[in-house]
Chains A and B, each alone.
Chain A
Amino acid sequence: MKRTKVVRFVAGVAAIAMAAAGLAGCGGSSNSASGSNGGKEGDLDAALQKGGTITYWTWTDSAKAQAAAFEKKYPKVHIKVVNPGTGMTVYTKLQNVLKASSGIPDISQIEYQAIPQFSVPGNLLDLSQYGFAKYKNQFVKSAWEGVTSGSSIYGLPQDTGPMVMFYNKQVFDAAGITNPPKTWDEYMQDAKILHEKDSSVYITNDSGQGNFITSMLWQAGSHAYKVNGTNVEINLNDPGAMRWAKNWDYLFKNHYISSLTNQGTEWYQAANKGKIASVVSGSWMAGAFKSSVKETTGQWRVAPMPSYDGKPASANYGGSSEVVLKKSANPALAAAFLRWLNTSQESIDLFKQSGGYVSTKKELSSEEFLNEKSDYFGGQQINKVFLESGKDVVSGWQFLPYQAYANSITMDTVGKAYQGQTTFEKALKEYQKALVTYGNQQGYKVTGK
């Protein structure tokens, strides 16, 4: 009698277990679009009249002000602004909600480099159906390229991150260097001079960050990733990549570069104390300098990023757009908000006021914007430098269709070169292997060269 009860209990547990497994069975991974395709431009205004609620994931400072302005204009629409973190954290979370098929935002901020990771598997809404192609000429070229693929438009650009070199003029002067380096060769020499003059000073710091390395390869003229639909060719040892690798090998081998983490607590201290002579980064870094490197106010300047042959060349580092998720319950309304968010003067002004670096040609070429002097940077018209850099972005760079993930595992392999255990060339080769394996596991056709 006892035994039968036991059996019954086990059967009960098993039944519940089967129910769990059953849940797993149904549903599966349905990639079928629940969002609508074949919308048209008129849908947007209709949606605005009808109203509704839109969830917007963003880490933009001005997002709440923008949403409020929009709601004032369209009282029937409510924008729920959620700040889920920045960059990688957001992609992790997007991946997470897409997996769960619940809690998916209607609109999300995404950096250009991460767009393919979501657009290729079909998670983003193609906005060309709403006639967004006509906004092409409003945006700078590299930004527009970042949100489009063929004739598909996956988002509207918000800001760009053209790379420049921030440098502490006082530190360079103290070492007897009057002009910032124009080429990487000069940069290497200056690295030596600065560190030999004062061993606590480094020309820069780098602890390695996937997206930073990506941008450095881009500027060096590498075409590491050749993407054609789901066919991918990877060559992280191409001539461009090797130019960068050689320089970084030199800097690390000779300890001319500090291993401090970019913008970690120690980095802020070092920068405040004038121990970091320069930082090659995106234009957005200007804000971090102003807010958190206050002790060296007035000492910093902005110069074009050093190039390999003396001719101006740069890349984008960061910079983001907003996209509409395909599973949005109200894609027309989401697209309507997005249209207002990144093309209306009112919204762009709010974004500018919060210190954002816009991606629209009109703003970028306005005299007022270009002539603006920054006290922090010793009265320099830094926007001019940013604008030039934006024009000098090397064209033809492609991101991997799983770039966000690739960036998250860069340091697993390239980290060894940063630790001095191998050369950057070999480390990149190893990184390539990991990327090829992962891509093929995910169903892409990836070959490594």
Chain B
Amino acid sequence: MSRKNTKNAATVAVSTGSGVRKNGYSRRHSPVLFIFMLVLALYSIIPLLWLVLNATKSQGDILSTFGLGFGHKLNIVENLKATFTYEDGSFLRWLGNTVMYVVIGAGGATLLAALAGYGMAMFDFAGKQIVMAIIIGAIAIPGNALVVPTFLLFAKLGLTNTPLAVILPSLISPFGFYLVISYVQSGVPREVVESARVDGAGEVRIFFQIVLPLLMPCIVTVLLFAIVSTWNNYFLPLIMLNDPKWYPLTVGLAEWNAQATGSATPKPIYNLVIMGALVTVIPIIIIFLMLQRYWESGLSAGSVKQ
């Protein structure tokens, strides 16, 4: 217990005054390190650069000009317009669906994980160990393995091809559950909760007004990773949904891409696929960059070694 506290103290120190720590030591810069990181950075960035460049091209240019250069003309406005208006604006609909799945799925997952994690960490009750054991035992079976069985069950229940089929499985975030437990254990002093109780505050009020603010970095981290996994989800909606009107962006884009091939009147729309892909990526990157401070400290707190 005490060992852990010193570590947390260290975390806090680092995250508040980063850079101070190593000032005392070597200031020499290593070219080897720099080159290594540069190569890795290029590897990470080139495909994204390709995406941005090709989103500006017409289909003809995408198929005939050098991938990491510009096309003969800037087609970016046309592509953007075409992406959002193709087939009566399916893309906008998919964007809306994705946002809905993210808000309800990721938002709900975060709330449920926060409530349950807090309940597990702060209260002692009979059956706690068995609940924990069941949850752990079951979540050792990863999400993707459950997609087909979940589909079979939901088909039986008549839930397939409804938004619920995508939302329900997204509501469980084992990672979030774990992160909240460990954060509550180290970051929410029991005394604070106890004294609020003495003052006569109800449990619900204590949770929302006292605990939740304390949990903020952790909540943001859980939320972000739930957002990413919901936003990027492909297997689950692919198998659950038939009607394009419920598709998220991922499934819609994959279908657009596939329509270039096949024995039934191929209709390539690569310029829309690529522009659509870019539009899909941008919001997530923005969210990550904006909330960087939160999730980085949330992550380090969560992964404190026991």
Contact = CB atoms under 8 A, between A and B. Distances in A.
Complex A–B touching at CB under 8 A: yes
Contact of A263 (B59, B154, B245, B261): B261
Interface residues of A, number: 55
Contacts of B59: 292
A9 B127 contact: yes
B262 A99 contact: no
A381 to B, nearest CB: 21
Contacts of A2: 126-127
A209 B87 CA distance: 28
Contacts of B160: 96-97, 100, 102-103
Contacts of B232: none
Interface residues of B, number: 37
Interface in B148-200: 152-158, 160-161
Interface in A301-360: 317-318, 320
Contacts, number: 122
Given A2-B126, A83-B87, A269-B63, A287 B265 contact: yes
B259 interface: yes
A419 B242 CA distance: 34
A9 B130 contact: yes
B268 A102 contact: no
Contact of A265 (B126, B260, B264): B260
A87 interface: yes
Given A87-B263, A87-B264, A264-B260, A24 B127 contact: no
A13 interface: yes
Given A9-B127, A97-B161, A83 B244 contact: yes
Contact of A294 (B60, B154, B244, B260): B60
Nearest to B241: A93
B156 A24 contact: yes
A9 B64 contact: no
Contacts of B261: 261-264
Interface string B114-138: 0000000000001100110010000
Contacts of A83: 87, 244
Q: Which of A10, A262, A265, A320 has the most CB of B within 10 A?
A: A265
Interface in A16-74: 20, 23-24, 27, 59, 61
A24 B155 CA distance: 10
Most chain B CB atoms below 10 A, which of A27, A86, A93, A273: A86
Contacts of B158: 100-102
A331 to B, nearest CB: 20
B127 A265 contact: no
Contacts of B258: 85-86, 89
Given A6-B127, A9-B131, A100-B158, A265 B266 contact: no
A57 B255 CA distance: 15
B7 interface: no
Given A111-B264, A263-B261, A295-B60, A13 B243 contact: no
A320 B130 CA distance: 57
B255 A100 contact: no
Given A2-B126, A97-B161, A318 B264 contact: yes
B156 A318 contact: no
Given A6-B127, A9-B131, A263 B156 contact: no
B242 A103 contact: yes
B244 A268 contact: no
A243 B60 CA distance: 39
A89 B263 CA distance: 12
Contacts of A292: 59, 63, 260, 266, 268
Max chain A Cβ within 10 angstroms of own Cβ: one of B154, B156, B258, B264: B264
Contacts of A287: 265-266
Nearest to B156: A23
A10 B158 CA distance: 27
Interface string A256-278: 00000111110011001100000
B63 A27 contact: no
B267 interface: yes
B270 interface: yes
Contact of B262 (A1, A5, A23, A86): A86
B244 A82 contact: yes
Contacts of A294: 60
Contacts of A208: none
Given A6-B127, A102-B160, A284 B60 contact: no
Given A264-B260, A269-B63, 5 more contacts: A2-B127, A288-B268, A317-B263, A318-B264, A320-B264
Interface of A: 1-2, 5-6, 9-10, 13, 20, 23-24, 27, 59, 61, 82-89, 93, 96-97, 99-103, 111, 161, 209, 211-212, 261-265, 268-269, 272-273, 282, 284-285, 287-288, 291-292, 294-295, 317-318, 320
9 contacts: A10-B130, A61-B265, A99-B152, A100-B156, A209-B263, A261-B261, A264-B261, A288-B265, A292-B260
Nearest 5 interchain pairs by C-beta: A100-B155, A5-B126, A318-B263, A86-B264, A103-B161
